[in-house]
Amino acid sequence: MVYHSSFVDDEGITKACGFPLLPLKSHIKGPAPVSDLDRTDIVDEAITFFRANVFFRNFDVKSSADKLLIYLTFYINVALKRLEGRRTLAEGTKAIINLGLEKVPVPGEPGFPLPGLFPVPQSDEEAELLRNYLRQIREEASGRLLSVAYKSNGTPNKWWLAFAKRKFMNIILPS
């Protein structure tokens, strides 16, 4: 059974291109509202559910937060592919920073991994809001992923990096 997001009530949540701009436990500057540090946010859910959800070829979307969870699962998969072969935390950090510096595509642009799942932006402002949110959420997910992909001594955690070979929803992503 696929794990779904617990953020099913999106009443009062701003949306951009169908993405809910959910609160994050983050100090990274961006458009996301700040969440309480003791609450689970969408990045926590994506990392927690990743190793189970990555085995599924189909994902029944029950809320807009599930779409964001799908996006984050794809991003974590790409990030793990970048970490593959990086033998130290320092090398992994450098690879993740380089991934974070890449342009963040939004729906309707070449390179967006999930065409058809999200509507294209209705304005340049909506596209820029979404791009900034995705950049913020990707940076936050990258930092948290490093803490699970590498052990406290800086060596790779094989129980995480082995999942770099998996294809979520049977889609091959560029590394």
Q: What is the pLDDT along the chain (175 residues), one digit of tens a residue?
A: 677 787 877 678 899 998 999 999 988 899 999 988 888 999 999 999 998 888 777 778 888 888 999 999 989 999 999 999 899 999 999 999 988 888 999 999 998 988 888 999 999 999 999 999 999 999 999 999 999 999 999 999 999 998 888 776 656 555 4
Residue 130 lies in a domain: yes
DSSP conformation letters of the chain: -----S----TT--EETTEE---BS--S-SSSPBPPTTS--HHHHHHHHHHHHTT-S-----SHHHHHHHHHHHHHHHHHHHHTT--SHHHHHHHHHHHHTS----TTSTT-S-BTTBPPPSSHHHHHHHHHHHHHHHHHHHHHHHHHHB-TTS-B-HHHHGGGG--GGG-----
Residue 153 lies in a domain: yes
Residue 106 lies in a domain: yes
Residue 94 lies in a domain: yes
pTM of the prediction?
0.90
If one counts the domains in the chain, the total is 1
Residue 5 lies in a domain: no
Residue 6 lies in a domain: no
Residue 4 lies in a domain: no
Residue 8 lies in a domain: no
Task: Kindly report the CATH number assigned to the domain that includes residue 30.
Answer: 1.10.1760.10
Domain extent for 62: 15-170
